[in-house]
Amino acid sequence: MSEISVGIIGAGMMGQEHIQNFNLLEGAQVTALADTNAAMLAKAAEMADGTPSQSDDFETLLDDNGPDVLVIATPNFHHINVLESALEAGKPILCEKPLCTTLADTQKVMQRVGHHELVFQVGMEYRFKPALNEMINRVHGGDIGQIQMLSIREHRFPFLPKVADWNRFNRNTGGTLVEKCCHFFDLMRFIIGSEPTGVIASGGQNVNHLDETYSGQTPDIWDNAYVVFDFANGARAMLDLCMFAEGSRHSAELAAIGDKAKVECLLPQNIVTHGNRENWEVAQDHIHVPEEILNAGYHSGATYHQNKAFLDAVRGAAEVPVTALDGHRAVAMGVAAQMAAAEKRRVDMTEVGL
């Protein structure tokens, strides 16, 4: 497929980021948009190269005369509604994270993807951040020896306002440890190269959104947590999340420590540091990201590389890098972590089917 037409279902912030990045990719053009919010739809259409069709009904993008591939960027709880129809259409799909908000729905998606043998990718942008990718390559290349510990710290701003404020409630998002942190749990599995066996966690809502009400209801979305997973290969990983930490030098700090050395990634500055136990020397690299890619969204250039990988898979030039199974397991880890914090106990991953 020399020229791939792209349909975007969901024209909000992430849908618009996808448009900006497809604009930069040769051989792809956004030709169709769907959203029930007219203002978002119009804004997204202005961003696209060319003149994409606009619809308030995503079903219009699914027929044979519609776009070649689909990107699903609707609110979390709406993914399953779109996927039930989109998977039947048989077109390649890039679905934003989290895959779904419940394990029953993620399992349903996995079964349908496998049955139809579809090109299906989950939007785990963090894997594709250039600086983080450099760190991951060092881990997988053996620079640190056998990985023993992985720490992920995200200290950032609160959840952004969304259309109809859907992201203020756990029932719509799956909970913070599913909605926000499935990215990080996916990274844990990917970097460590093993499956989680159990989790302990502590989290809650301490600062953000407490003075807000929507239809008489106060938001219940958590704004901080500590989460620790054990893995089958003996490694362990920790997440330190705070969403009322705007005054931070680095919004994200990741460190992988092996029996020989350590490598770190600092974001959004795109810095990678690496040092070994033998001589205690530490080197620092600044990973360059072209400005046009860096400015096409909020993920340090990751969406460009993610979408390129998706197009490569559609063309048959590469395997799908983040599968429906990966998406399911990331949600399962979020569900287990949310359960561990809420019930104040260790949760075995067999309790969530892993």
Give yes or no: residues 227 and 348 share one domain: yes
The helix (H) or strand (E) run that includes residue 266 is strand 261-267
Structural domain ending residue among the three candidates 124, 152, 177: 124
**Boundaries of domain holding 68:** 4-124
Paired strand residues for 150: 237, 256
| pLDDT the model gives residue 322 | 98
Give yes or no: residues 117 and 131 share one domain: no
Q: By the 8 A CB rule, do 229 and 189 touch? A: no
Count of structural domains within the chain:
2
Give yes or no for residue 54 having a pLDDT over 90: yes
Give yes or no: residues 343 and 219 share one domain: yes
Give yes or no for residue 1 having a pLDDT over 90: no
Structural domain ending residue among the three candidates 77, 101, 124: 124
CA distance 82 to 91: 13
Give yes or no: residues 26 and 52 share one domain: yes
Give yes or no: residues 67 and 198 share one domain: no
Give yes or no for residue 116 having a pLDDT over 80: no
Give yes or no: residues 137 and 223 share one domain: yes
CA distance 87 to 9: 13
pTM to 2 decimals?
0.96
Is 61 domain-assigned? yes
CA distance 352 to 333: 8
Is 308 domain-assigned? no
Predicted confidence band at 117 (pLDDT cuts at 50, 70, 90)? confident
Percent of the chain with pLDDT over 90: 96
Give yes or no for residue 163 having a pLDDT over 90: no
Neighbours of 221 (CB within 10 A): 20
Tokens of 1: 């497929």
Give yes or no: residues 26 and 138 share one domain: no
Give yes or no: residues 264 and 153 share one domain: yes
| pLDDT the model gives residue 115 | 76
| pLDDT the model gives residue 40 | 96
Give yes or no for residue 2 having a pLDDT over 90: no
SS3 call for 47? helix
